Amino acid sequence: MAKNNQEFVTQIASRSEDFPQWYTDVIKKTDMVDYSDVKGFMVIKPYGYGVWELMQSEMDARFKATGHKNAYFPLLIPESLLIKEAEHVEGFAPEVAWVTHGGSEELPERLCIRPTSETIICSMYSKWIQSYRDLPLLINQWANVVRWEKSTRPFLRTSEFLWQEGHTAHATFEDAQEETIRMLEVYREFSENVLAIPVVVGRKSEKEKFAGAYATYTMEAMMQDGKALQMGTSHNLSDHFARAYDITYLSKEGKLEYCYTTSWGTSTRMIGGIIMVHGDDRGLVLPPKAAPVQAVVLPIAMHKEGVREKAGELFDMLKKAGIRAELDDGDQSAGWKFNQWEMKGVPLRIEVGPKDIEKNQAVLVRRDNLEKLFVPMDGIAGTVEELLKDIHVGLYKKALAMRESKTVEASDFEEFSQGVKNGFVKAMWCGERECETSIKEKTGATTRCIPFEQRHITDKCVHCGKEAKHMVFFARAY
């Protein structure tokens, strides 16, 4: 069954020739997902789900550290509940899936499969919140949602996806705003420190904001093809949902007041981001903190005396140190195994052969830069831990350099149109919806965010020439 290196690598399209095909090859050939019988619904296989579980546990710890508790709300939402917030229902109606029958009986009221849970959670909050003592109410839910999509791609856009949605209620607008920004910051820190993905953070335009929100904040990452991926959003819902769902509380002064609510979410979509930010022509490159296998131990020339035993010892040492290690003592050739684990993006490969045993060393190969290191067996777990940290930093820096090399400032529409073909464009914008629509029609680019870090480039809107309101990041997006 031995296959040589070249043969194996050619199973994956090259990124420069066909980026979309490369993406499809990678997710299929690394066993992350499979397609199901229902179009747009993906099966997340153990390797892909393993990445999600690690992301979940890292995020969950952050949510709890900021005072949130997990709960679970029903999958089905009565139509009467969904339609209470007018903008919200208008935004989501086109992609809602409906349940109309229970067994063979038609239901008196159709039920929607949650596309997001503001409506059902707010209806419960209106019962649970009575006085200022009940505030803030800080709840997160880990769940699946369904949004009926016309064209789908695994992880990036699927009709069902897994996510977390935080829903909080506060006494004042300021408290809600503080929460909205706090959670955006949690997301940013998670993206950078766990996924090694640098993000641009800021506010969404009115056109791009969440349906029913007062303001939406986002973190946007650049993929290697220069397109943006929205990695997570945090919404200040002001009192919009509180008024629609009657969430009130009795203040200290004994006055009945409306609450201010927020919601924030991230999803399995981020896995698509990991693939498209870090991957290379050999396949996946996983950031160590989101890698189900951080180090794979490969015995070389297994038939030679002592090799298996030594590899086993090494594997045990790594496990004991809390490193997610795997021992591959299968009967495939070493070359086949190298390719397999490289394709799966395992951060470190550790080889142990007869010569290494003689020298009391192991050979470590980094997945990020393919550097080969000869490391003494004594204290090797510590060396591996250090290298994993180093790989994280290296991946982050590489991704940041890639983003910077594909980001330009545009002061006229010609520069703008050229820039968005390649990556992000920073440009001044008037803030008007028609202008935004027209830019999209002409270039395919949308406003990604109005970044917190503003810079003055010109006085006039890059497209229509009206007075500019902000500097905005524009890009084509997934």
Q: Which of residues 54 and 430 has its CB atom nearest to Zn ion in the complex?
A: 430
Burial 6-42 (b: 16+ CB within 10 A, else e): eebbeebbebeeebeebbebbbbbbebbeeeeeebeb
Nearest to 140 by CA among 176, 168, 105: 168
- Is the CB of 180 or the CB of 205 nearer to Zn ion? 205
Minimum distance of Zn ion from residue 430's CB (angstroms):
3
Backbone angles phi, psi at 197, to 5 degrees: -115, 115
Cα 472 to the chain's mean position, in Å? 22
CA distance 302 to 309: 9
Which residues of the shown chain bind Zn ion in the complex (CB under 5 A)?
A: 430, 435, 461, 463-464
Nearer to Zn ion, 237 or 461 (CB): 461
Question: Which CB atom, from 75 or from 464, has the smaller least distance to Zn ion?
Answer: 464
- For the bound state, the minimum distance from the C-beta of residue 211 to Zn ion, rounded and expressed in Å, comes to 23
Output the DSSP codes for 214-250.
Answer: SEEEEEEEE-TTS-EEEEEEEEE-TTHHHHHHT-EEE
Q: Are 288 and 274 in contact (CB under 8 A)?
A: no
Cβ closer to Zn ion: 251 or 458? 458
Nearest approach, Cβ of 444 to Zn ion (angstroms)?
17
Measured from the CB atom, is 187 or 429 closer to Zn ion?
Answer: 429
In the complex, minimum distance from the CB of residue 450 to Zn ion, in angstroms, rounded to a whole number: 13
Nearer to Zn ion among residue 138 and residue 430 (C-beta): 430
- The nearer residue to Zn ion, 24 or 458, going by C-beta atoms, is 458
CB nearer Zn ion, residue 60 or residue 206: 206
The CB-of-252 to Zn ion minimum distance in angstroms stands at: 46
What is the closest distance, in whole angstroms, from the C-beta atom of residue 15 to Zn ion in the complex?
34
- The structure tokens listed for 431 are 């803030």
The nearest distance, CB 390 to Zn ion, in angstroms, is 45
Q: Which residue has the tokens 């009467």?
A: 80
User: Hey, what are 199's tokens?
Assistant: 């993000």
For Zn ion, the closer of residues 355 and 469 by Cβ is: 469
Spatial contact of 245 and 184, defined as CB atoms under 8 Å apart = no
Q: Pick between residue 196 and residue 430 the one whose CB is nearest to Zn ion.
A: 430
Q: β-strands 69-70, 137-146: how paired?
A: parallel
Q: 295-299 and 325-327: which strand pairing?
A: parallel
Q: Closest distance between Zn ion and the C-beta of residue 428, in Å?
A: 9
Query: Residue 150: what are its φ and ψ, rounded to 5°?
Result: -80, -45
Tokens representing 453?
Answer: 């870090």
C-alpha 392/C-alpha 287 separation (Å) is 6
Decide: 224 and 22 in contact? Cβ < 8 Å.
no
Residue 121 CB, nearest distance to Zn ion (Å)? 37
Min dist CB 424 to Zn ion, Å, is 18
Question: CB of 406: closest distance to Zn ion in angstroms?
Answer: 24
**Smallest gap from residue 145 Cβ to Zn ion (A):** 34
Nearer to Zn ion, 392 or 463 (CB): 463
Dihedral of the alpha carbons of 292, 351, 8, 396, in degrees to the nearest 10: 50
Residue 40 and residue 158 in contact, taking contact as beta carbons nearer than 8 Å: yes
Integer CA distances (angstroms), 412 to 240, 422, 425, 438, 447, in order? 38, 16, 11, 15, 16
Cis amide linkage into residue 136, ω under 30° from 0? yes
- Is residue 192 within 8 A of residue 149, CB to CB? The reply is no
Contact 353, 307 (CB under 8 A): yes
Tokens of 133: 């003592």
